[in-house]
Structure 1
């Protein structure tokens, strides 16, 4: 491993620790933190600036595929995963995740950070408003549900996130109990992340400029660092939920995301 790769691995160990803690404490997707952090770290590790956003998105999705998978397994054990809901969303979120990676490959590199920034700004505003739904409406028909899943998958893949920030409100708005909405969103998020990651890996295979120790656009030293610590610190974050004012912390984090989104949008 080169000196730059070792430095990035060390930085990502710290990044993963923060991501896991925030994910466990606030219930947010790690991609909202991982992507902007990697956009800042990767150029300092000698990564070509033209590839930075693609690598950040792909590596974020790869980390989410592992962490969301672990989260979904825990929710399954607790009986929180509704497979009827997941089956309805799955075709859309998988296809959407793949399409998001294709769109990211076609969009000019300079435009990708702005797309990410807009998505982050909207999610931060949603977090600030803390929209809650009390609805008994059932999920729409299969076609509409698949299309909704497709939109969630595309947006999530383009932002390098698992999509829980979109899936949970969508399910809640259609009368799904919050516990089942979160558990089902965790499994759907894993599917989105896997689909998006596969798309980015496939696209990156044909790019000769990708750095060594990469699988497509997924940069393994960064991925290893993030996952090694995030999967440990998530449990500590979850343990702090009852001790800290999470609603207030979530609003503070949303303001932080707003600043990140504005900064990335303005370049």
Structure 2
């Protein structure tokens, strides 16, 4: 298929290899279509955040790589922000990050086979405005056990005035996302998340661990508080995830989360068509993340 030059919101974007399969039975053209249609609810979660991409030039069955720096051939209209990267594996002091503020940039990245989009808990030039609790199940625990732990964490955070919103990871676990004030540095936020995780691990030691050691995880849900480090990123809501089939990091309601926890609803990830239908019916269940919340204790 010949490259196709399209104009999106006044920007020229070249699309290529639209029939290339990114997943079995899911082409690059279908991936671009998904990202275009989900953009109204996805873009607010990407806006003003440096995006890390995971690119799969030959689809999920081929090699992949993480990309933070601007790729070669970046159009002049793409927003770039030069930011420090302490501890870079390539000894760089700064990186020119791509910022996805508009649909043409999102489509351009999708055309580069950037299946996954990951963002930090802070907006450029500011302290964290999100607290993220990542729930990672150790087999045989799975998403159902994560949902049960999520309900406990919700209650624990609510006692401190923090409101949590759940989403699937698009893989095996889930995350809780909490709007916070953006007035405290990442070290303070991460310290608070660690205390919450340790409190719950003490309360339910047979089901929860707050320690990263792999040997402690089988049959437990690891509450990964370290996601709040300034250097960490989390998969962005509505991003696709690479795997055997296309799955999406999908916002859930708390009723759904509780139903999964007790076995009244299926514990599973959601595909792109399902997510588009959910958004058409209910809008963005994570819209509250766009506004600031309270400081952490």
Scaled to the shorter chain, the TM-score interval is under 0.3
How does the TM-score come out when normalised to structure 1? Answer: 0.28
Query: Which structure is larger by alpha-carbon Rg, 1 or 2?
Result: 2
Higher strand share: 2
| Structure with more contact order per residue of length (Cα contacts < 8 Å, sep ≥ 6) | 1
How does the TM-score come out when normalised to structure 2? Answer: 0.26
Higher helix share: 1
